[in-house]
Chain A
């Protein structure tokens, strides 16, 4: 005994009370639900309809999925009554095309309605070979066809050009020994092997060429490799800046050095000139002093000679002493001393009359330092 069908749809006996039809699918209700406005639909139909418009399909009253309630019990039981009556069910199960039966030959389960079709394809049934008339098991038929002695076959050398065709039995008894292609079978095998190798090589080369082509195309289309310009310039620029600064500094220093050199040589020259002037002046002074000394010496000598003639020798010594004192004083107040002490000399040596004081540099010839 099968359980009654519990599928989502039922098979119904002919005409159905129109009030039990869903107005959306026009079938008797399946899992009916009712709206507050009093309309009943299949649950699936109602939710499908409400997903496109939130109104009752019958009277367009606003309606949402949550408002749907399972339909009244009476509707459900009326729908169930529409099902096939119990007694008929058992009859139906036997006739139902969808019921399963077992094939007596191959033991597989087959649908009732397919059993006739199965007979023509059941692997356990036998078929008669059209060539040798022997009964052959269907499952082994394709194998038999390839060995059946009565079946028609072509010479295996058909691809090399042998036109022979005939029963397999005759091929082995007649043709195989006389087939001209069979005689050079070895050559064909070698040839085919070589051809195969060449074909494979050709394929490999072709694929390599196409790989290379795409690579070339990619390289051609690719943008040039960008120079990492962003990294170098700061350093280069900095170095260049520093170099420029250094060159400027060097120039500046060189200029200063030249100035200093020029200053030095000017200074040297001035000092040379000053030294020369000084030397000249000192030499002149020395001459005048020497001349003065000679004059004093000669005067002193004259004095001494005169005194010796007139007085004693002690007086001479005192005069000498005073003379020396006078000479010593000329260094501090030479103008007076020279002027007073030796008027005759001033006439004799004009140049010496000029007041020359060593250590004072207010003479007109002096170079200002």
Chain B
């Protein structure tokens, strides 16, 4: 399994460094490829235009069969699906994960989630959630908001 893990992440890293998607930049990846930092810029013409956010990807040895743990670090964007502790309510990161998804496709999903926001606000249950949540969002049982927002 760790054979797939290394081959696959090495390829992904090489691809992302060779042709990074717009607004996505690999900040750094550990030597053992288990921890990545990605800088994401708010897309032009959206509420987050001109802002920059840091995403952290944590991979288990079972990647890509198992989803990576993805959270925002430091400055967490104010968004109805993003909690102030950096946890992101996005189904493909949890039970809708598929091994065919990549770091690049996850980044693009998050970016489009940001772009579709019409109002900068925290999820209504933010205060309650950050009090009870574990460190990893993968420990949370997510009830997903509708995908339109």
Determine whether the beta carbon of B65 is less than 8 Å from that of A52.
yes
In the assembled complex, how far is the CB of residue A39 from the closest CB belonging to chain B, in whole angstroms? Answer: 8
Does residue A328 face the partner (Cβ distance < 8 Å to B)? no
Which listed residue, B11, B62, B98, touches A55 by the CB 8 Å rule?
A: B98
Does residue A123 face the partner (Cβ distance < 8 Å to B)? no
Please tell me the number of chain A residues within 8 Å of chain B, measured between CB atoms: 15
Does residue A274 face the partner (Cβ distance < 8 Å to B)? no
Determine whether the beta carbon of A25 is less than 8 Å from that of B7.
yes
Does residue B8 face the partner (Cβ distance < 8 Å to A)? yes
Determine whether the beta carbon of A52 is less than 8 Å from that of B66.
yes
Determine whether the beta carbon of B98 is less than 8 Å from that of A27.
no
Determine whether the beta carbon of B1 is less than 8 Å from that of A48.
yes
Determine whether the beta carbon of A57 is less than 8 Å from that of B99.
yes
Determine whether the beta carbon of A49 is less than 8 Å from that of B99.
yes
Query: How long is the Cα–Cα vector from A25 to B4 in the complex, in angstroms?
Result: 6
Determine whether the beta carbon of B8 is less than 8 Å from that of A24.
yes
Does residue B86 face the partner (Cβ distance < 8 Å to A)? no
Which listed residue, A26, A51, A58, touches B98 by the CB 8 Å rule?
A: A58
Determine whether the beta carbon of A48 is less than 8 Å from that of B7.
no
Residue on A nearest B11 in the bound complex, by CB: A26
Query: How long is the Cα–Cα vector from A51 to B62 in the complex, in angstroms?
Result: 12
Query: How long is the Cα–Cα vector from A363 to B62 in the complex, in angstroms?
Result: 135
A60 in contact with B11 given A45-B4, A48-B1 (CB within 8 Å) = no
Query: How long is the Cα–Cα vector from A25 to B11 in the complex, in angstroms?
Result: 9
Determine whether the beta carbon of A23 is less than 8 Å from that of B99.
yes
Determine whether the beta carbon of B4 is less than 8 Å from that of A57.
no
Residue on B nearest A39 in the bound complex, by CB: B100
Chain A contacts for B42, CB-based, 8 A: none
Determine whether the beta carbon of B8 is less than 8 Å from that of A25.
yes
Near B by CB (< 8 A), chain A positions 33-49 give: 45, 48-49
Which listed residue, A48, A51, A52, A58, touches B100 by the CB 8 Å rule?
A: A58
Residue on B nearest A58 in the bound complex, by CB: B100
Determine whether the beta carbon of A24 is less than 8 Å from that of B100.
yes
Determine whether the beta carbon of A24 is less than 8 Å from that of B4.
yes
Chain A contacts for B1, CB-based, 8 A: 48
Question: Across chains A and B, which 5 residue pairs bring their CB atoms closest together, nearest first?
Answer: A57-B100, A23-B100, A26-B11, A57-B99, A24-B99
A sample of 7 more A-B contacts (CB under 8 A), given A24-B4, A24-B100, A26-B12, is A24-B65, A45-B4, A48-B65, A51-B65, A52-B65, A55-B98, A57-B100
Q: Which residues of B contact A (CB under 8 A)?
A: 1, 4, 7-8, 11-12, 62, 64-66, 96, 98-100
